[in-house]
Amino acid sequence: MKVTFPHMGHMWICLSAMLEYLGVEVVVPPPTSKRTLTLGARHAPEFACLPLKLNLGNFIEAAERGADTILMAGGCGPCRFGYYAQVEHAILEDLGYNYRLVVMEPPQKHVGELLSKIKYITGHSSWWEVIRGIRFGYQKARMVDELERRAHYLRPRESHRGSTDKAFKRALQEIIAVKHPRDLPQAGERVRRIMAGVAIRPRPVLRVGIVGEIFTLLEPFANHDLERRLGYLGVQTDRSIYLSEWVNDHLFLGLVRGLRSRKEACRAAPPYLNHFVGGHGQETVGSTVMYARQGYDGVIQLLPFTCMPEIVAHSVLPGLSTGLGIPTLTITVDEQSGEAGLVTRLEAFIDLLARKKGVV
């Protein structure tokens, strides 16, 4: 059994850490690229959202490297993500790929369904080992998120253009290389040292919150490397959801304390959006409210074309923006979106924020 999974930002690092720790053979799909998108878009339904197309492309490319089992998450709607696996599987089947599909669904009847799937993938590992594996993966997720946060802080302030990214890449390798939980603390030290080596210059920066659909938030290929671009424009960004927060909210049901949680975001959404709308629609609205209260200079909403929950959120953002006095920009991505258009819009938006703040 050679297990693969879709890419979503740096998720592969913690997933393969967990699976390999448990002795599962893993095939990480090649990094998402233009080719991935072309393959996915060719075979996926035209109006499916971008994540589905990229997932599909990942699976086709992973099959070329010998993967035969797909591990992915499911859901119970109303967002389309809950039915991705089934549609993708039907498409792959018609294309002649013989994939086994293991979907981690939130248990509908009893938790045994979920446990048996975990057992299926992890084989002979004991439950205790499985828990340690999950913990290992999760710790890596926390480290990667910490690293990203640090990069968001450094990029607009770095003395030499590109030094943050260089350090980031090196630090990421340190995390990836760790094969056993006991080596994590030392790796953490090394990562901190590497990042501390980036020279910075104090200067006024803009603070922008990034909200929206989780896949587009986390996958730099999907959002055209938005955070890096903003960093270079002198903007310190904060993302409304990081991977470890998402994992804690959705898989651990909030077990880990002290992390930002979706609950606060949802509580902040009324009166703009009074009900959950699936996906991260309500969180998007609520996080925007929270960024406004924290004095951020602006908010950017990211969504894949036709994403239903985000379209609902988008419909109420203009009113929110006027009401709370925080400028918002919505960026929709799909296989047609080009870089030049994005850059122009970003520059115009940042220009506006800078003028408003008087830091031109």
Partner 1 sequence: MTLKVGIPRALLYYYYLPLWRTFFEALGLEVVISRPTTKTILEAGLQNSGDDVCLPVRLAFGHVLDLKDRVDVLFLPRLVSIARREYICPKFLGFPDMVRHGISGLPPLIDPNLNLYRKDSPYPFFVALGRNFTGNRLAIYLAYRRAMHVQARYVQLLEKGLFPEQALGVLYRGVAEGQEPGGGGPAVAVIGHPYNIYDPYISMNLLSRLAGSGVRVCSADNLPETLVREQATRLPKHLFWSLGQRMIGAAWHYLQSPDVDGIIHVASFACGPDSLTGELISREVRRRGKPFLNLTLDEHSAEAGVVTRLEAFLDMMERRQFLPAGESV
Give residues in contact with partner 1 (CB under 8 A).
45-49, 74, 76-80, 82-83, 86-87, 89-91, 94, 103, 105, 108, 272-279, 281, 305-309, 311-316, 318-320, 332
Output 101 or 118, the one with its CB closest to partner 1: 101
Report phi then psi at 268, rounded to 5.
Answer: -85, -10
The answer to whether residues 328 and 296 touch, using CB atoms and an 8 Å cutoff, is no
Output 18 or 48, the one with its CB closest to partner 1: 48
The CB-of-276 to partner 1 minimum distance in angstroms stands at 7
Cis check for the bond before 78: say yes or no (omega within 30 of 0).
yes
With b for 16 or more beta-carbon neighbours within 10 A and e for fewer, the 14-36 pattern comes to bbbbbbbbbebebbbbeebeeeb
> If we measure between CA atoms, which residue out of 267, 207, 266 comes closest to residue 238?
207
Which residue bears the tokens 């959002």?
223
Cα 95 to the chain's mean position, in Å? 28
* Residue 328 to residues 47, 228, 298, 319, Cα–Cα distance (Å): 26, 19, 6, 11
The CB-of-55 to partner 1 minimum distance in angstroms stands at 13
Report phi then psi at 291, rounded to 5.
Answer: -65, -40
Amino acid letter, 205: V
To 5 degrees, how large is the angle CA 286–CA 7–CA 18?
A: 95
The CB-of-186 to partner 1 minimum distance in angstroms stands at 44
The CB-of-246 to partner 1 minimum distance in angstroms stands at 19
The CB-of-272 to partner 1 minimum distance in angstroms stands at 7
